[in-house]
Structure 1
Amino acid sequence: MENNQYLFTLQLNARLQPIDRDEYFEDPINQALEDSQCGTTDGGGTMLQETGEIESCDVEIILKDNKKENVDKVLQIINEIGVPKGSLLLGNGFKQSVGTLEGLALYLNGTELPEEVYETSDINYVIEKINQELNGIGRFYSFWGGPTDSGLYFYGTSFAEMKQRMAAFLAEYPLCQKCRVEQIA
């Protein structure tokens, strides 16, 4: 690393598989930094809960220097891309809260439904239908498969509105019986 470079970590309050972190955050941030000629990204990481479920993730950012306009550009890029509430941008002596998106986790019960429900239902259909319901206010970002349930992670402008829009589908689709909905950002 060159001496004049400045390191940041974008701690994302987001439950994302590494490939999804790359697609939704690392790659777009990198492209915007390169386009503005002020820096680049340098990988990232994923934090897990004791259960193995994703807790959060981060993206490493390298600015070519620590001029205020470059820091402001990073903040502008983050705001334009949209990150979940509760995220932080951290640097040497720098800490700023960022994020406007709210998060919703939908946990599908993987053990207590009749076997025919699992055999005849499709989790991809659940994602597709909910994305249709959330059109304009949120969308699916990632997933987690646990020992007793599967988590589907959605981020958007309003947890309450996302929950309300998907309620009718959750009540009618067999695979969604005994599901849990939790706010995660």
Structure 2
Amino acid sequence: MYDITLKINARLQPIDRGDEYEDPIGEALESRGLGEVTGGGTMLESTGEVKYCEVDLSLEDGSEQTMEALLQILDEIGVPKGSVLQWEGHKQPVGRLEGMGFYANGTELPLEVYQNCDINVVIREMESLMEGVGRFYSYWEGPEDTALYFYGTSFEEMRGRIEKFVEEYPLCHKSRIVRIA
């Protein structure tokens, strides 16, 4: 067996890491007889926010054909820019998706905004506005804000499509948008 780690430049809760990467990669590897997923992990910032994720793979071999098939699987599934395959002292950059973090302010808005607005409305509306360009992958609830993580083909286009909604929906006021991949 040939062990490889996929370091994913994505901010995902462990269950989302499984749904988005471990399960689809494992199914694709097994269906092609190339190997399996053997584990995964999540690296946190000192704040508790996810920094990146890892998926451990065990391939049948390290042949050029197997590696090309793995790269094709990763391209089909879609991983964020800045991700890396690591094995035996080698590093192979992978990823084409761009990431957008939306940080909803959780402490500075009027109390009635928090009582009358819903973060799930924000997620649904943003995902609808980004259709065909990006989608929601995961979230993080911090002490001062709630982060929503979106990945897609273009950070600028994702941000542009939600601008009007962010200006209009009260729960989005005093928010910040950050490029995360």
Asked if 1:32 is matched to 2:28, the reply is yes
Supply the distance in 2 between the matched residues of 1:94 and 1:54 (Cα, whole angstroms): 25
Supply the distance in 2 between the matched residues of 1:96 and 1:22 (Cα, whole angstroms): 22
* Partner amino acid, structure 2, of 1:159: F
Supply the distance in 2 between the matched residues of 1:84 and 1:41 (Cα, whole angstroms): 19
Supply the distance in 2 between the matched residues of 1:151 and 1:137 (Cα, whole angstroms): 19
Corresponding residue of 2:116: 120
Deviation of 1:93 (Å): 3.3
Asked if 1:182 is matched to 2:178, the reply is yes
Supply the distance in 2 between the matched residues of 1:161 and 1:122 (Cα, whole angstroms): 24
Alignment gaps of 5+ in structure 1: none
Runs of 4 or more consecutive aligned structure 1 residues displaced over 3 Å after TM superposition: none
- Pairwise mapping of residues 121-140 of structure 1 onto structure 2 (< 5 A)? 121-140=117-136
Decide which of 50, 60, 65 is 1:64's aligned counterpart.
60
Deviation of 1:94 (Å): 2.4
**Bigger shift: 60-69 or 78-87?**
60-69
Corresponding residue of 1:142: 138
Corresponding residue of 1:156: 152
Corresponding residue of 1:110: 106
* Partner amino acid, structure 1, of 2:37: T
**Superimposed CA distance per residue, residues 47-106 of structure 1 (whole angstroms, 9 cap, x where no aligned partner):** 000111100001000001212211111111001111000000011132110000000000
Supply the distance in 2 between the matched residues of 1:93 and 1:170 (Cα, whole angstroms): 44
Equivalent residue pairs, number = 181
Corresponding residue of 1:165: 161
Deviation of 1:7 (Å): 0.4
Corresponding residue of 1:46: 42
Identity of aligned residues (%): 55
* Partner amino acid, structure 2, of 1:130: M
* Partner amino acid, structure 2, of 1:150: T
Please provide the CA RMSD for this pair: 0.6
* Partner amino acid, structure 1, of 2:125: K
Give the secondary structure class of the aligned counterpart of 2:146.
Answer: strand
Alignment gaps of 5+ in structure 2: none
Decide which of 79, 83, 95 is 1:99's aligned counterpart.
95
Asked if 1:74 is matched to 2:70, the reply is yes
Give the secondary structure class of the aligned counterpart of 1:170.
Answer: helix
Give the secondary structure class of the aligned counterpart of 1:77.
Answer: helix
Give the secondary structure class of the aligned counterpart of 2:48.
Answer: coil
Supply the distance in 1 between the matched residues of 2:157 and 2:110 (Cα, whole angstroms): 30
